[in-house]
Amino acid sequence: VQIHLHKQIPFGAGLGGGSSDAAYTLIMINRLFKLQITHEELEKLALEIGSDCPFFIKSGTQFARARGEILQPFEFALPKMRLLVALPNISIPTSWAYQNIKSKSNSLSPRIVIEKTIENWKEELNNDFEEAVFEAYPSLQKLKTDIYNAGAIYASLSGSGSAIFGIFYSEKPIEIDPDYLSFWLDF
């Protein structure tokens, strides 16, 4: 099989681009050659490629535990909102992020926090990568603060970084520093 990948999701942004590409490649090879490999078997194969690759075999809303390979689907819906994703010109190697993560074992389970209203998330839903990443890249902490100052209800580093996202009720476009590539999604 010869594959040409036209990558649209930037490397080192914490958006799962490489992991989703790997997972969908497995899915497409399975379909192309009619291998009839089950989802469970595909997830095991995907885990050999990367810890979060099984997530993209199933897709949908899921809680991930351990290294990201233990998945539990759940129903989740937000009211009509807008999502801003800001992509700085910084690439954070996933391996560096995992070597420097400062896990907070005493924090609330994300599942418990997610079940609360979104207004509670700012104080209770934390990305453990942020401490190390913001220490090494202070401009990312400033970007998160800027997104909150622009009216976000919740903002966070995406995955291991470097993208920062914000969730807004606002329907009007919010201006972000032009040094950052940014885009809006409605959901």
Q: Give the pLDDT score at 131.
A: 95
| Residue 105 pLDDT class (50, 70, 90 cuts) | low
Condensed to tens digits (0 to 9), the pLDDT of residues 56-67 reads: 998 788 888 877
Q: What's the average model confidence in pLDDT over 159-184?
A: 78
What is the percentage of the chain residues whose pLDDT exceeds 90? 47
Helices (H), 33-119: 39-49, 53-58, 94-100, 110-114
User: Strand (E) positions, the chain?
Assistant: 62-65, 70-73, 82-87, 154-157, 164-168, 181-186
Q: Give the pLDDT score at 53.
A: 92
Condensed to tens digits (0 to 9), the pLDDT of residues 125-139 reads: 999 999 999 999 999
Give which of 72, 22, 31 is closest to 49, Cα–Cα.
22
